[in-house]
Amino acid sequence: MNNQLLRLGSITKSFGKNEVLKDISFCIESGDVLAVMGENGAGKSTLMNIISGTYDNYRGSIYIDGVHESFTNPKEAEDVGIVMVHQELSLIPELSIAENIFLGSEPMSYGLVDFKEMNARAEEILCRLACHIDVNERAGSLQIGQQQIVEIARALAREAKILILDEPTAALTALESDELYKLTADLSSQGVGIMFISHRLDELFSVANKVIVLRDGHLVVQGLIKDYQEPELIEYMVGEEKSKSYQRKSHVIDKRVFCVKNLETTKEYGKLKDISLDVHEGEILGLTGLLGSGTGEVLKAIFSAVPSHVEEWSLQSGQYDLLYKDKPRCPQDAISQGIALLSDDRKGDGLVIQQSLGFNLELPTLSELRSVWLDNSTAQSQSLLKKFSIKCENIDQAVDKLSGGNQQKVALAKWIPLKPTLLLLNEPTRGVDIGAKTEIYNILAELSKTGVGMIIASTDLPEIMSLSDRLLIFKDGLIQAELQPEDYTQQAILTLAQVESPSVDTNNNKQGVRH
């Protein structure tokens, strides 16, 4: 079958002086699932933005069904069947699911929106996606995984021939991801061409049949994915020496720094109940579970960013040799006890994104200054930049101009001058490329060597398994089990995390540990 849906002919794109894409050519046939790989900054999103019509200032040509097209805006691309599902979900929470699916292309009759027709067609599309939810429900009430499906339904409602999925599983749990893989397979068997962008190699191997790898704007690999091995592809993505993986070494010292008993929160804040945990000096305690199991909320509750109740609290602050017996009342208080939180949403609540690097790096330290005046702490910030190898032009560069990995390093680095006793990390490498991931892991190892206790919440199983010295499995706001490193297997963790569904299916068995 030689049914070329999309063919790119030597696409080149430059921003100002630097070329971000050089001479990219490939094609997608009907039913292909193309894995698009590359580190952040390799040019993936630029390429996708060109295909989906966001950028119109490029050289080279795009052929859809053999017809030369040049889009000036995303609407034109949608009209010929190219739809992109962005990483940040963009449903309007106050509208119903059906209204979201047909937003901008509502079926009309006599100049009014035909809700009957709309709901019927929405149901039909969701049916095709094997998803049975009430189309009259508010989109805001859906789980993130379901929202993703609605986004895809929206693409199908526009009769997408080529679907671009930008890190669709970044916010999904293992189970939800499985659903999405099945969906992808279904769609491709219906003849839709799919471009699947992801940092998770294991999933790309299970969903895709073709692969392209971008590095520094060049197309370095193009072909059938079954011809390649994971390590090979990693090497192509990051270059040679960086591809060495992270090896955990335990630095646990048998001295308890933190202990909390019977932590509880209300339903709004994760419905936590009976959470008792302790952390030792230099220990990395992992928390994992399905999305919504409450791991992130535990961190927020400990940091006192959300209201909670505890029965007992003790924090041994190593730096001042003080013992805190009272739960802090607010983040400010928590910080002064020596607790720091790396938020899971660096753009939403981790960084002041439009401000400079220096501004962000100094922010938590400001309240520790003795004087009302600012002293120039650029020297300190400079040394942080070096220590965390944050790539930037200079200290005054705005943070939103940095890549995701570098932003995350800034969000982590800003806490270091405070010398935290207890570091809470919520999804520390979400949306971060492999190179930066390894660097962050090494930084964490370095910190644990200096005796910092850490609690990491992550739904990325390979990550949490390779990082933590001890692992707590969460389900519905309760601790299900505690695992020691020798008992870590994905199978065991998933079974504990979702007791009622034992069918952790074949897909998961295929997933090897990354790196």
Name the site residues for another protein (rule: CB under 8 A). 16, 303, 305, 320, 322, 331-332, 334-336, 341, 343, 348-355, 359, 362-364, 366-374, 414
**Closest CB 350 distance from another protein, rounded Å:** 6
To another protein, the closest distance from the beta carbon of 302 in angstroms equals: 13
As measured in angstroms, the least distance from the Cβ of 322 to another protein is 6
Closer Cβ to another protein, 155 or 339, answer by number: 339
101 contact partners, CB below 8 Å, separation of at least 6 = 122, 125, 135, 150, 153, 154, 157
Give the burial class of 19: count Cβ atoms within 10 A of its Cβ; 0-12 exposed, 13-18 middle, 19 or more buried: middle
Residue closer to another protein by CB (options 135, 334) is 334
CB of 349 to another protein, least distance (A): 4
Instruction: Write the Ramachandran bin of 379: left for phi over 0, alpha for psi from -120 to 50, otherwise beta.
Output: alpha
Nearer to another protein by C-beta: 49 or 146?
Answer: 49
Residue 367 or residue 501: which is nearer to another protein going by CB?
A: 367
Q: Of 71 and 359, which has the nearer Cβ to another protein?
A: 359
As measured in angstroms, the least distance from the Cβ of 427 to another protein is 15
Which amino acid is residue 80, in one-letter code? V
Distance of closest approach, residue 173 Cβ to another protein, in angstroms: 24
Q: What is the DSSP letter of 350?
A: I
Whose tokens are 């009622």? That residue is: 500
Q: Where are the alpha helices (DSSP H) in 52-169?
A: 74-79, 97-101, 115-128, 144-157
Token pair belonging to 350: 């981790």
Tokens representing residue 243 in the block: 């591809």
Minimum distance between the CB of residue 145 and another protein, rounded to whole angstroms?
24
Residue placing its CB nearer to another protein in the complex, 193 or 428: 428
Do you know the residue count of the chain?
515
Neighbours of 326 (CB within 10 A): 11
Nearer to another protein, 394 or 489 (CB): 394
CB nearer another protein, residue 161 or residue 346 = 346
**121-145: b (≥16 Cβ within 10 Å) or e:** bbbebbeebebebebeebbeebeeb
- Closer residue to another protein in complex, CB, 209/336: 336
Least gap, CB of 381 to another protein (angstroms): 13
CA dist 90 and 299 (Å) reads: 27
Helix, strand or coil, per DSSP, at residue 370: coil
Using CA of residue 401, residue 403, residue 408, residue 410, what is the dihedral sign? negative
Query: In this structure, how many other beta carbons lie within 10 angstroms of the beta carbon of residue 333?
Result: 15
Instruction: Closer to another protein by CB, 181 or 303: give it.
Output: 303
- Report in angstroms how near the CB of residue 225 gets to another protein at its nearest: 38
CB of 351 to another protein, least distance (A): 6
In this structure, what DSSP letter does residue 349 have?
I
Distance between CA atoms of 47 and 26, rounded to whole angstroms? 12
Measure the CA–CA gap between 127 and 123, rounded to whole angstroms. Answer: 6
Q: Which residue has the tokens 């644990």?
A: 448
Q: Are 100 and 92 in contact (CB under 8 A)?
A: yes
